[in-house]
Amino acid sequence: MNKNQYKYLNIKGAILDNYQLQKYMEKIATNHDLNKESSIFTYPIPRLKENYNYIKKTYDLLNKHMKIGIEEHPAGEWLLDNFYIIEETVKTIENNIDIKKYKSFSGLQNGMYKGYARIYVLASEIVAYTDNKITDEILKLVITSYQKRKTLAMAEIWNLWIFLEIAIIENIRNICERIYSGQLQKYKVENIIERLLEKKDKSNQNFKLEKKLYKEKISYKEMKYPFIEHMSYRLKKYGKKAIPYLEILEEEVSKMGISTSECIEKEHYDMAISKVSMGNSITSLKEILRINFLNLFEEINGVESVLKKDPANIYSKMDYKTKEYYRNKIKEISEKTKISEIYIANKALNLCLKNNEEVKKHIGYYLISDGYAELMNSLQIKVKTPKNKSSIYINSIWVLSIIFSIIISLYTYYKTKKIYLAIITGILLYMPISEIIIQIINYILNKVVKPKILPKMDFINGIPNEYKTMVVIPTIVNNKEKVKELFKKLEVYYMANKSSNIYFTLLGDCTQSKNELEKFDEEVIEQGIKECNKLNEKYKSNDKIKLFNFIYRKRIWNDKEESFLGWERKRGLLMQFNKFLLTGEENFRTNTIEYNLLKNKIKYVITLDSDTNLILESGLELIGTMAHILNKPVVENGIVTKGHAIIQPRVRNRFKSQQKKFTYPNLCWTTVE
């Protein structure tokens, strides 16, 4: 599309106080009728690029004039010092809004701004009526006022900063037009001074009129205020010599119905206003980067206020990513059904209020869990249940397998004319064909279906008492050096996941041997206890439970292996440890854990391999995941029917060439309750 086909928005406004601004926002909200989409002809990026090019042209002119001694416009000082901010802002905007995204915003259906994205118009109104002065207090005020009459979509609020920056860049361009024009007039003045007062020869002139910039001759009709102001200023510097020219200037200006002093006064006023506006614009571009839009979003978003009413009191305690997941789910439903986000959120809340079951009182149950179908039914939208989807998946496999088997059978019959051979071929190939189809369907689904995240509680400020967790490394230790190495790892994990109610234990397994006891056993035990004491002394806490502990197993005879070893190896070690946490029963040779202090208090166990890392705050995130009400396991007849008893995050290998990169640990959770 040709850039000339795009329209651009340039709203002019007066400065309003807070009360006036509130009332004005309510008024325009009342007048806004909406379309589902914005017009692509109002896409702001072509105009943004044009604005940037003009601003850059002004910046280049100011630099050029500064070098040749022409005084720059007061507002130009802001531009010269802060052009890099404008440059970075434009790049950021271009990277954050494409034409598809812009079109998805609700557009205005009526009025002089018909077709423009509502949020674009609103942002431009805010900028116009605050003289480019943007703060989080002003944004809270105007958005709250607007939403008294019309509710903004989450995507609109979240992208408000982009359109504020676009509107500010537009205003900077307007100021630059005045700066550019003023600088050209000053250059013309300098050219006249050189020719008339300094009597310089054309070849010696410093200020030559370039054809591209200074085509037209100067006449009284073109004597704009910057020209008059600067000419008067320059002539007065020459004293008596310039008096005849000052008189001519006064006479020519009087033809315009105004005096020279009035022109100078008006120009100085305009220069002061431009300087303030440019200063506000640059300051606001910086301020927008500092504003915490996450907090602002949560304060002014209508959907957020509904979600916070969650009867289970879970939503407000979740982490940001999970809250965003819930909000995006509402946004997704809204886009598919064309139903208001607020209406959907209220429907989910009403369903919560009708239930007394703990999990069903949580609003997320209806957004991302088993209650989703119930929510959609309340919205009178038909959806496929998990059972329907499973049937489609299974039926697709066997139907496609049969079709391809029949095709091959027919081809075989066509070639051989033997029906029994065709039937046998079809039957024999059915299984391999079905396996191929399963692989193809799974590959397609893997590319098409988005993975779901597990909701999490926010434990970044500390793990609650009811979720005490033990981090363990179960591994064979046969020398004190390995014990030292593993305790160093546990110390790092503690520092990366520092919180109350999280503890660290090295589960030392014994080696396989023909002897029940080995010489190095005592050395390992002594070093393990020593390392524990050293770390507990180093990281003292008010908690009576020791932060660091060491366990070393006994060897028992194994008839099949015909040797002494730890029962059931690593799996057995974890089972024995969990049993100890539950009952106090232990089969360990050494155990520094005081069971009386831990009795029935450890909720979860994080299991780490000796070659994996528990990276920064990952332990807190995992505990937050398991603690979420939708993830809590429901056990029926010894089987987990809902939720999770064990979770294992994605595993990422770290190679030597990637030593500096963070990795995800190979973690396994075990519920010991």
Digit-coded pLDDT (tens) for 41-54: 999 999 999 999 99
**Distance separating alpha carbons of residues 589 and 564, to the nearest angstrom:** 14
Task: Report the pLDDT value the prediction gives residue 471, as an integer from 0 to 100.
Answer: 94
- Compute the average pLDDT of residues 465-486: 91
**Predicted confidence (pLDDT) per residue in 64-77, tens digit:** 888 888 888 899 99
Residue 213 has pLDDT above 80, yes or no: no
Pair 328, 334: CB distance under 8 Å:
no
Handedness of CA 228, 231, 236, 240 (dihedral sign): negative
pLDDT at 375 over 80: yes
Q: Pairing relation of β-strands 548-553 and 588-591?
A: antiparallel
> Which residues are CB-neighbours of 193 under 8 A, at least 6 positions away?
234, 235
Q: What is the 3-state secondary structure (H, E, C) of 33-82?
A: CEECCCCHHHCCHHHHHHHHHHHHHHHHHHHHHHHCCCCCCHHHHHHHHH
Find the length of the chain. Answer: 673
| Tokens (6 digits) for 389 | 């989807």
DSSP 204-250: G-SS---TTT--SPP-GGG--HHHHHHHHHHHHTTGGGGHHHHHHHH
- How far apart are alpha carbons 171 and 13 in whole angstroms? 11
pLDDT category of residue 82 using cuts at 50, 70 and 90? very high
Q: Which tokens is 70 given?
A: 């022409």
The runs of H, that is alpha helices, within 417-471 are 419-448
Residue 308, Cα to own-chain centre: how many angstroms?
20
Question: Does 559 or 617 have the greater pLDDT score?
Answer: 617
Structural contact between residues 500 and 462, judged by C-beta atoms closer than 8 angstroms: yes
HSE on the CB side for 103, CA within 13 Å?
6
Residue that the structure tokens 């002394």 belong to: 537
Q: Which amino acid is at 139?
A: L
Question: For 53-67, what is each residue's pLDDT tens digit?
Answer: 999 999 999 998 888
Range with the largest mean pLDDT of 3-12, 171-180, 194-203, 259-268: 171-180
* Sheet strands (E) in 495-596: 502-509, 548-553, 556-558, 563-565, 588-591
Task: Please state whether beta strands 502-509 and 548-553 pair in parallel, antiparallel, or not at all (unpaired).
Answer: parallel
- Identity at 459, one-letter amino acid code: F
Task: Please give the residue that has the higher pLDDT: either 582 or 389.
Answer: 582
Residue 217's pLDDT band (boundaries 50, 70, 90)? Answer: very low
| Whole-angstrom distance, CA of residue 573 vs CA of residue 552 | 10
Dist CA 363 CA 328 (whole Å): 14
Residue 83 pLDDT exceeds 90: yes
- Model confidence at 428: pLDDT above 60: yes
From the CB of residue 27, how many other CB atoms can be counted at a distance below 10 Å? 13
Instruction: Please tell me the predicted confidence (pLDDT) of residue 222.
Output: 43
Q: Whose CA is closest to 316, among 364, 369, 367? A: 364
Band of the pLDDT at 653, cuts 50, 70, 90? low
Distance CA 57, CA 511 (A): 76
pLDDT at res. 50:
93
pLDDT attached to residue 397: 87
Mean per-residue pLDDT over the chain, rounded: 85
pLDDT given at position 208: 67
Helices (H), 237-292: 243-254, 260-290
**Lowest-confidence range among 323-327, 459-463, 603-607, 646-650?**
646-650
144-188 pLDDT, tens digit per residue, is 899 888 888 888 988 999 999 999 999 999 999 989 888 888 888
Q: What is the pLDDT of residue 658?
A: 42
| pLDDT score for 118 | 93
Please tell me the predicted confidence (pLDDT) of residue 455: 93
CA distances from 336 to 36, 110, 375, 520, 601 (A): 12, 25, 14, 67, 46
Q: Give the residue, 255 or 176, on which the prediction is more confident.
A: 176
CA gap 403, 551 in Å, rounded? 60
For residues 532 and 510, is the Cβ–Cβ distance under 8 A? no
Question: Which is higher by pLDDT, 344 or 228?
Answer: 344
**Tokens found for residue 72:** 């720059």
> What one-letter code names the amino acid at 566?
G
pTM greater than the 0.75 cutoff: no
Q: Is the pLDDT of residue 601 over 80?
A: yes
Over 60: is that where the pLDDT of 302 sits?
A: yes
- 237, 476, 514, 551 from 556: Cα distances, Å: 106, 15, 10, 16
Look at residue 399 and give its three-state secondary structure. helix
Residue 640's φ and ψ, nearest 5 degrees, are -80, 110
CA 616, distance to chain mean position in Å, is 19
Q: Which of 599, 602, 577 is nearest to 587 (CA)?
A: 577
* Phi/psi of residue 655, nearest 5 degrees: -95, 170
For residues 382 and 342, is the Cβ–Cβ distance under 8 A?
Answer: no
Q: How many CA atoms lie within 13 A of 104 on its CB side?
A: 15
**Token pair for residue 482?**
């390995």
Rounded to 10 degrees, what is the CA torsion of 410, 416, 418, 422? -40
